[in-house]
Structure 1
Amino acid sequence: MDVMKQAGALKERLVDFALSPRFARELDKAFEQSHPGGLVENEVTASMVVDHFALQHRLASGDTVIDRFLRAHPGLSPQERSMLLGWKDVVEGFFEVQGKDRDAVILLNLVDELTYRARSNMGKAAFRTVEKGMFLICRLVPLGEDWLVSAHISLFPAEARAQLLPQAAEVALRNPKLVFRNPEKLATARRMLAEQREVFIELHGAEYIVVPGDQVIPRLNAFMQTLMDRAQPGDTTPPPSSTYPDEVLDADTVAIHFDPETGISLYLDFGLLQELFTNPSLINRRRYREILTSYLRGDDISPAAIRLLAEPDPDNASVVFQKLLKKKGFSWPEHGEALLRRHKARYFETPQLPTTVPVSAAMTEHLRTLDHQTPI
């Protein structure tokens, strides 16, 4: 069978499987999360939600619809299984049409600045109204050396560039993983991160500081101002204003940590845990136990936070975790890393990415123009 026909038939089977009653409850939740209230305004939006659910959504069991489909269809050929597994690698973006090549369109992704040769299981007909300079918002999955359009396409005229650039920039800043498909972007981000970390340590004498919650914004603003002063001496433009939830600003203590892999992280009540790791007997108090447990089990708290607490005195750390876990033989030097891997598996399964995201010169200039137009 022709690879395009095979892909089309396989995708139809996968979507039917995703829409089957066995996934109804989780699909409803996916729609609710994507569109609170459950109101989906058009077929294109619904198609995007279903496509994401079928290819990427993590089910309550931890696997995906593709994983379930593969288990339910053991008779699939090796080529079909390989194609399905490849579809987990979805590219989302805002694409500028660079031209056409037979039954394909050549697309430049504004988010990762990579070029994709994209085809459709509908053939040339899918791109009949597409012209060079137009923009597409769509999803692509691998198809051999090419890419296959997955779900519907939203098509915009060339004149929509000014509206789409800031949207693409926002997506890039919120989802670094999409940008770092481009290895050059990732290398640039890591260089920027290393330079910023040097400035942070130069300012504070260490890779983290512990401050009252109401000092978080002033400290971070001062850090950003220093970065801007060094990058553009003499520029009087103030740094972007920072906003944080009240739980951060009202916290007794917050650690501001410049992680070498990701960048700035904030850890609430860190000072209290520093007391605990200095005086392990405090683990007998409920508040200390609860906060340490939240650090250990919290999916949004990096294992780096616990390492920072344990490394100054590994013996004390051993005692703390012996009491918390009720394991007399626990030793932080021997068992600490395994403990973190068990409770923080997500951080070890995939490389942690920088939170500093380099965007294109066009995006940067456009965003700067919008900032200057914003009334104060």
Structure 2
Amino acid sequence: MLHNLVDDVVYSVYSNMGRKALTKLRAGMFLVGRIVPLHPGTDAWLVTGHFSIFPKSARRQIAQAAVEQLTAYPELLCRNPAMLRRAWEIQNEHRADFIDQVGTDMIVLPPDEAQETLREHYRRQRQRALANLDERTVKRAAKTGPAPEQLAQLSDEMPASGSVALIYDEVEGLNHYRDFGRLDALFADPALTRDRTYLAQLREYLNDESVSPLAIRRLAQRHPDGADPVFRVLLRKPGFSWARDGEDLLRRRKKAFFDREPIPSISAVGERLAELLRVTR
């Protein structure tokens, strides 16, 4: 029986190499490896490939590795519906706090102000998390946890941009977009399509597979009268209608965002992993 620290689920795991493959395991040890479903009709899993065994004393290393994996791949929570629901709840709480902080779920700021707004947001979240801990644990966490300025660091290219949009979407979570103010001005005044630099910026947003459709949808929502004339010039299609053709356009250019199930941008931590993190701190 293996308790997965990432999704907080207990798995019944077998080996096709016989008992000898698992004889070194003892209760409380840690194992890093890969398992696969044995059969769709059972809850049994099979060890595949090599696995590494760690003693109880490796709990700091293992806990940190589990947190890093969960942070990088929040979709791993999908095997635990309860934790997935909790992750959505946490994201909703953070979004509500962001709206309380800035007055809206979207704001366009100069890069330095956007940086400070993010820093304040993460500071507030950290304070709220520490409020639920005892005094001793708070002191340890204050020394070892990431500082707000580390969490809120924008990418290197952001400071060179003229503006940054911070959008805390209900589904996609907190995102930031560089040079958003230029596009906002374009949709507000479609006459700016005569300036090719504005169109180049929009084309970059549209063609970049890493940029979510959310950014373009928000532009169209903010300036519904500007979407049609802007895209007609950009696409050279006089009959283009955002209301009729907008989603099809995004599906073609942003296919990856439509092919995956929505998952929260924030991960929940299971009880056992949380316990290990408290001990290691």
TM-score (ref. length: structure 2): 0.86
1:125 and 2:24 correspond:
no
Q: Deviations over 1:109-154 (max 9, x none)?
A: 0111101111223232322322222221111111112112222111
Structure 1 residues 325 and 312: alpha-carbon distance in aligned structure 2, compared to 1, 3 A threshold: same
Partner of 1:223: 121
Partner Cα separation in structure 1 for residue 176 and residue 279 of structure 2: 31
Counterpart contact for 2:36–2:46, Cα < 8 Å: yes
Gapped regions of structure 1 (runs ≥ 5): 1-105, 372-376
Structure 1 residues 249 and 325: alpha-carbon distance in aligned structure 2, compared to 1, 3 A threshold: same
Partner Cα separation in structure 2 for residue 291 and residue 368 of structure 1: 46
Counterpart contact for 2:83–2:270, Cα < 8 Å: no
Partner Cα separation in structure 1 for residue 159 and residue 271 of structure 2: 34
Following TM superposition, by how much is the alpha carbon of 1:365 offset from its aligned partner in structure 2, in angstroms? Answer: 5.6
Structure 1 residues 290 and 365: alpha-carbon distance in aligned structure 2, compared to 1, 3 A threshold: farther
Counterpart contact for 1:318–1:331, Cα < 8 Å: yes
Higher relative CO (CA 8 A, sep ≥ 6), structure 1 or 2? Answer: 2
Partner of 1:319: 229
Gapped regions of structure 2 (runs ≥ 5): none
Structure 1 residues 327 and 152: alpha-carbon distance in aligned structure 2, compared to 1, 3 A threshold: same
Counterpart contact for 1:107–1:118, Cα < 8 Å: yes
Partner of 2:246: 336
1:218 partner SS: helix
Counterpart contact for 2:165–2:181, Cα < 8 Å: yes
Partner of 2:184: 274
Partner of 1:75: none
Partner of 1:33: none
Per mean C-alpha deviation after superposition, the further-off stretch among 240-249 and 318-327 is 240-249
2:13 partner SS: strand
- What is the correspondence of 1:113-262 to structure 2 with a 5 Å cutoff? 113-144=8-39, 145=42, 146-231=44-129, 232=131, 237=142, 239-242=147-150, 243-262=153-172
Q: Deviations over 1:194-216 (max 9, x none)?
A: 12211211222211111111222
CA root-mean-square deviation: 2.3
TM-score (ref. length: structure 1): 0.66
Following TM superposition, by how much is the alpha carbon of 1:351 offset from its aligned partner in structure 2, in angstroms? Answer: 1.8
Following TM superposition, by how much is the alpha carbon of 1:158 offset from its aligned partner in structure 2, in angstroms? Answer: 2.6
Following TM superposition, by how much is the alpha carbon of 1:370 offset from its aligned partner in structure 2, in angstroms? Answer: 5.9
Following TM superposition, by how much is the alpha carbon of 1:361 offset from its aligned partner in structure 2, in angstroms? Answer: 4.4
Partner Cα separation in structure 1 for residue 11 and residue 259 of structure 2: 27
Partner Cα separation in structure 2 for residue 365 and residue 148 of structure 1: 27
Question: Identity over aligned residues, as a percent?
Answer: 39
Following TM superposition, by how much is the alpha carbon of 1:225 offset from its aligned partner in structure 2, in angstroms? Answer: 2.5
Q: Deviations over 1:289-309 (max 9, x none)?
A: 221111112111111110110
2:148 partner SS: coil
1:297 and 2:211 correspond:
no
Partner Cα separation in structure 1 for residue 30 and residue 125 of structure 2: 35
Per mean C-alpha deviation after superposition, the further-off stretch among 119-128 and 324-333 is 119-128
2:8 partner SS: coil
Structure 1 residues 252 and 183: alpha-carbon distance in aligned structure 2, compared to 1, 3 A threshold: same
1:346 and 2:256 correspond:
yes
Structure 1 residues 287 and 262: alpha-carbon distance in aligned structure 2, compared to 1, 3 A threshold: same
Following TM superposition, by how much is the alpha carbon of 1:310 offset from its aligned partner in structure 2, in angstroms? Answer: 0.6
Following TM superposition, by how much is the alpha carbon of 1:227 offset from its aligned partner in structure 2, in angstroms? Answer: 3.1
Following TM superposition, by how much is the alpha carbon of 1:311 offset from its aligned partner in structure 2, in angstroms? Answer: 0.9
1:210 partner SS: strand
Q: Deviations over 1:84-126 (max 9, x none)?
A: xxxxxxxxxxxxxxxxxxxxxx110011110111122323232
Following TM superposition, by how much is the alpha carbon of 1:362 offset from its aligned partner in structure 2, in angstroms? Answer: 4.9
Q: Deviations over 1:41-91 (max 9, x none)?
A: xxxxxxxxxxxxxxxxxxxxxxxxxxxxxxxxxxxxxxxxxxxxxxxxxxx
Partner of 1:359: 269
Which amino acid counterpart does residue 11 of structure 2 have in structure 1?
Y
Following TM superposition, by how much is the alpha carbon of 1:334 offset from its aligned partner in structure 2, in angstroms? Answer: 0.8
